[in-house]
Amino acid sequence: MSTSTRVAFITGAAGQDGSFLAELLIGKGYTVYGMVRRSSNMTNLDRLTALRHNHRFHIHYGDVTDIASIMRILTLAKKDYFNTLLNVKEKGYLEVYNLAAQSHVKVSFEVPQYTANTDAIGTLNVLEAVVQLELTPHVRLYQASTSELFGSTAPPQNEESLMCPQSPYAVAKLFAHWAVKNYRDAYNMYAVSGILFNHESERRAANFVTRKITKFAAALHRGQKSVLEIGNLHALRDWGYAKDYVEAMWAMLQQDSATDFVIATGEQHTVKECIEAALEVVGIPRIEWRGTGLSETGHNAETGDLLVEVNAKYFRPTEVDSLQGDCRKATDVLKWKHTTGFKELVKIMVLHDIQELGI
């Protein structure tokens, strides 16, 4: 079937994943309806600059906490979808990607109710909007789930691993994860959750640790003298490139049956390694680490200059120490595998941040 007849609705379209996904779908010939919050700042909307004048990309204001706005935009996408069915012999589906979320784990401890309303009830609203508009037979729905669901469960984690959430964010996402399963069973809805491990990019928000690190490295390259204050240097994460991961989102909605998938690289790196990789890009090949715990510091091994220090305020009330995805199911079924390595990802981000500073 020609993808020129395909229609998609993306919540959180101005986010890191939403903007990459919109570009991917437009490139495949889709008509895309993107929902963004009225409060989205210009930095977020700038991610959509390349698509703003594309006649197949439609931005609408809405919020997943407001089911009326979801139904309004979904109704527009529905009309477009049914119009395409009049002109094709092979019938496709209206694809719904629910990416909207309050996704910062540390922030979720500060605004737990807001996080629950957005990530849990917001997902329920999207599912219920599909049902209320009688779109269940016509929709394929993707839910952005998260590796934070696994919490303290030992790695590697796969689709069958115990879920033990350690933050309000993860608890809200667990509700959403099970809501998708429930609607899949109750309404025979093609609804899947992508359990994505940490995925970063040059579009990552500045308050996330990876982007904080790469922006620090870029500032050093510009000659700005400062010290990077960081939380848990030894947290182990499975980091991939968001641009690779949206390919997996799309692939999940092209299968014969609905099932959940872990999406990951299968590799682990510490926050400390991320710092070292970023500083290597800007010509600091080796960091000398001194001390332990809250007293640990990182210094330029050649000059002795202090570059990194630990600050207790960046620790979470309950830490998740180790995440590593087992994505063999995605490799076998979706034929998906990440293409961007860890150091390459960090380099992409640092070079972008250098360019952003006008260097």
For the cut 70, the answer to whether the pLDDT of residue 194 exceeds it is yes
Looking at residue 3, its pLDDT comes to 47
Dist CA 148 CA 170 (whole Å): 5
Tell whether the model's pLDDT for residue 240 goes beyond 80.
Answer: yes
**DSSP labels, 141-194:** EEEEEEGGGTTTSPSSB-TTSPP---SHHHHHHHHHHHHHHHHHHHH--EEEEE
Q: What average pLDDT does this structure show over 169-185?
A: 99
Dist. CA 47–CA 18, nearest whole Å: 9
Q: What is the pLDDT of residues 313-347, one digit of tens each?
A: 999 999 999 999 999 999 999 999 999 999 999 99
Average pLDDT of span 256-285: 99
Supply the mean pLDDT for the chain.
95
Active-site annotation holder among 5, 115, 123, 146: 146
Distance, in Å, from the CA atom of 104 to the CA atom of 114, rounded to the nearest integer, reads: 12
- Res. 263 pLDDT band, cuts 50 70 90: very high
Look at residue 53 in the predicted model and tell me its pLDDT.
84
Would you state the pLDDT for residue 30? Answer: 96
User: DSSP label at 234?
Assistant: T
Average pLDDT over residues 201-217: 97
84: confidence class by pLDDT, cuts 50, 70, 90 = confident
169 catalytic per annotation? yes
- SS3 at position 237: strand
Q: Tokens at residue 55, please?
A: 């006649």
Q: Between vectors from CA 193 to CA 199 and to CA 104, what angle results, nearest 5°?
A: 40
Active-site entry in 30, 93, 123, 148: 148
Residue 176 has pLDDT above 60, yes or no: yes
Instruction: Look at residue 85 in the predicted model and tell me its pLDDT.
Output: 76
Q: At residue 2, does pLDDT exceed 50?
A: no
* pLDDT 10s digits, 47-67: 888 888 899 999 999 999 999
Q: What is the mean pLDDT of residues 182-199?
A: 99
Give the domains, in start order, of the chain with CATH numbers: 3-202+240-266+321-339 (3.40.50.720), 209-233+270-320+352-356 (3.90.25.10)
Summarize pLDDT for 131-168 with one digit per residue, the tens.
Answer: 999 999 999 999 999 999 999 999 999 999 999 999 99
Instruction: List the Cα angle 167/186/128 in 5-degree steps.
Output: 65
Q: Is the pLDDT of residue 113 over 70?
A: yes
The pLDDT score that the predictor gives to residue 4 is: 56
Band (219; pLDDT cuts 50, 70, 90): very high
User: What pLDDT score does 38 carry?
Assistant: 82
The sign of the torsion formed by the CA atoms of 44, 47, 49, 54 equals negative
Residue among 108, 193, 208, 89 nearest 147 (CA): 193
- Does 291 have pLDDT greater than 80? yes
Residue 203, pLDDT score: 97
* CA quadruple 149, 152, 158, 162: dihedral sign: negative
Per mean pLDDT, which range of 47-56, 64-73, 237-246, 292-301 is the poorest? 47-56
* 148 noted as active-site residue: yes
Q: Check if the beta carbon of residue 128 is closer than 8 Å to that of residue 40.
A: no
Q: What is the pLDDT of residue 45?
A: 78
- β strands within the chain, DSSP E: 7-11, 31-36, 57-61, 94-98, 139-146, 190-196, 199-200, 228-230, 236-237, 240-241, 261-263, 269-270, 287-290, 297-300, 306-310
How far, in Å, CA of 173 to CA of 194, rounded? 11
Region 111-137 average pLDDT: 98
How far is residue 34 CA from its own chain's centroid?
A: 16
What is the reported pLDDT for 358?
86
- Of 229, 209, 199, 234, which is closest to residue 320 (Cα–Cα)? 234
Are the CB atoms for 260 and 190 separated by under 8 Å? Answer: no
The predicted structure's pLDDT at residue 43 = 64
What is the pLDDT at residue 308?
Answer: 99
Report the candidate in 130, 138, 164, 149 with the shortest Cα–Cα distance to residue 196.
Answer: 149
Q: 28 by DSSP, 3-state: which?
A: coil
Angle between helix axes 16-27 and 242-252 (nearest 10 degrees) is: 60
Q: How confident is the model at residue 78, as a pLDDT? A: 96
Residue 1 binned pLDDT confidence (cut-offs 50, 70, 90):
very low
The two structure tokens encoding residue 191? 């609804």
